[in-house]
Chains A and B, each alone.
Chain A
Amino acid sequence: MAVDARKELRREDPTGEFVRNSSCVARTATGQMTLVSADGMSLGGMWYGNIPGRNEQLRMGFMRNAWKKWEALPEEVRRPGGVKLGAASNKIDTTRTPHKVPPGALVVRVYNRQLEPDGKGGLRYTEPDDYPEGHRRNTPRYRESAQDFMWVPEREWRAMIPAQAKQNESFDAPESFRARVFRFHLDPCRGLGEGVTFGHCDADAGRITLTVEGVTRDSIRLRIDGAAKLDNRKTSYAPTLLGYLTYDRSTKQVSEFRMVALGTVDNTPRGVRPGKHPLGIAFEYVAKPRPSELVHPRGARDGLEEYLAGKR
C-alpha cells in the first residue's frame, strides 16, 4: 500500500477509522512504513527519513521485527478469510479517496535527473561532493532519478493531432498543456520534497510547438520543440524541450509520447544545490499502466480539475 496520509486520516468511513485506530499512516511529509493486520493491529512502524549509511539495515530490522509480531498473532487472524471486515467497502468516503485517471487520459511518467558539468565541457551524474556539507551530501536519492506522473486529458491530446496532417506543418500545443507542463512538470523540486516551485506560472512562461514530421497511412508523427523561463525569485529553471508524439491512425490512439527537457537550475529548492546546475527531465507515455502507476500527479494533489484544465 502506498497512500496519502492526509486524505486517509480524514476519511469519514470504516477505512478512516481503521487508519486512525491503528496509527498506520505518517504525520509528517517524510513518511513512514507500517506493518498492520487487516483488523487494525499495528505490528510496527518506522519513520522513513534518511539515516546515512544505515537505511537498509534499519528498514530490514523493522521488517524482521514486525514480521515476528505478525507470526505471533493467533491463527484465526492470520488465516485467509480469518478477519471479517463487514461493511468496510460498502460505505466509502469518496471525497478522500485517491484521484483516478480520467477516461482516455494519457498516463505519462516524469523523471528528474540532477546533473553536473564534468569539467571537460560535458555533463555527468552527481556525486556526494556535489552537494553542500551535511545531510544533503549523504542523501542517495538526490543522486538518483526522481519521479512524478503527468496526466494528459483526452480532449487535449486529441487537439494535438491534426485532422489533415501536412508534412512540416507547425502549431502551438494547447494552452492547458503548456500551463500544466510549465507549472508542475518542469519542477526542480521533484525528488526533493512535496513543494511546487513554479505554481504561479502560466502558459506564456514558454513555448511548446508541434511539427508534423511524418505522415503515413498508419500514423502521424509529431516533433515537440519548446523552451521555458521559469522563475519564482528564489529558484529559476530555463530548459529547452524536445520530444515526439506518434498517433496510430488505425486505433486512433497515441502510441508514443516521449519528451526531454534540459536546462540550468539556479538555486535548487530546499537548499539542495545552491548556484547554477543542469537538470534533465524525461517524459514517457505508459500505454498499459500498472496499478501503482495510476498514482496521481503531484500537481493534481490539491485540485484535479484545475490541474487538468491548466487553471490556477
Chain B
Amino acid sequence: MRKTYLLSLGLLATLSAALAQAEQSIAPEQFTSFFQKVKPQNGESRFWEIEWMLDLTAAREKAAAEGKPLLIWSGSGGAPVGAC
C-alpha cells in the first residue's frame, strides 16, 4: 500500500492538503512552498558563499599574479562543490 505524507514543517503546514493525495502528488498551489523548503535554508551549504574556481591552471595564474596562496578543495570522486 502506498504511503501518503502531509508536509507540515512549521511553515510547511499549508502543504498538507496537497500532499495528502495518492502517490504523494504535489498540488500546483503548494508548489512554490515545497520548492523553497527543499532548497538550502539559512546556514546550510555555506561553502557556496565562496566563489570557487574550477580551472586549476587559471587559478594558479591568478594566485601568482595577485600574490596569494591557493585554497584547494578536492575529492577523488569529483569536485566537492558538485555532487558527492
Binding site for B on A (CB under 8 A): 1-6, 8, 13-15, 18-19, 24-39, 43, 48, 66, 70, 78-85, 88-89, 92, 97-98, 111-113, 115, 117-118, 120-125, 144-149, 190-191, 193-194, 223, 227, 238-240, 242-244, 258, 260, 262-264, 276, 278, 280-282, 284, 290-292, 294-299, 301
Contact = CB atoms under 8 A, between A and B. Distances in A.
Given A1-B71, A38-B64, A121-B16, A92 B57 contact: yes
Nearest to B10: A124
A89 B69 CA distance: 18
6 contacts: A4-B76, A89-B57, A120-B6, A194-B84, A264-B2, A282-B34
B74 A3 contact: yes
Interface in B12-36: 12-13, 15-16, 19-20, 23-26, 28, 31, 34-35
Contacts of A2: 52-54, 72-74, 79-82
A294 B40 CA distance: 18
B78 to A, nearest CB: 5
Contact of A38 (B63, B77, B78, B82): B63
B59 to A, nearest CB: 5
Contacts of B3: 264, 276
A34 B24 contact: no
A168 to B, nearest CB: 14
Nearest to A30: B75
B65 A81 contact: yes
Contacts of B41: 144-145
B23 A113 contact: no
A280 B82 contact: no
B56 A3 contact: yes
Contacts of B83: 146-149, 190, 194, 297-299
Interface of B: 2-3, 5-9, 12-13, 15-16, 19-20, 23-26, 28, 31, 34-35, 37-41, 44-45, 48, 50-61, 63-84
Contacts of B68: 38
Contacts, number: 273
B72 to A, nearest CB: 5
Contacts of B35: 258, 260, 282, 284
A115 B45 CA distance: 17
A213 to B, nearest CB: 9
Nearest to B32: A258
A30 B75 CA distance: 6
A88 B61 contact: yes
Given A1-B59, A117-B5, A124-B9, A26 B38 contact: no
A1 B39 CA distance: 24
A297 B82 CA distance: 7
B56 A262 contact: no
B76 A147 contact: no
Given A24-B72, A33-B73, A240-B24, A282 B56 contact: no
A85 B64 contact: yes
A114 B39 CA distance: 11
A136 B39 CA distance: 21
A113 B38 contact: yes
Contacts of A80: 65-67
B8 A123 contact: yes
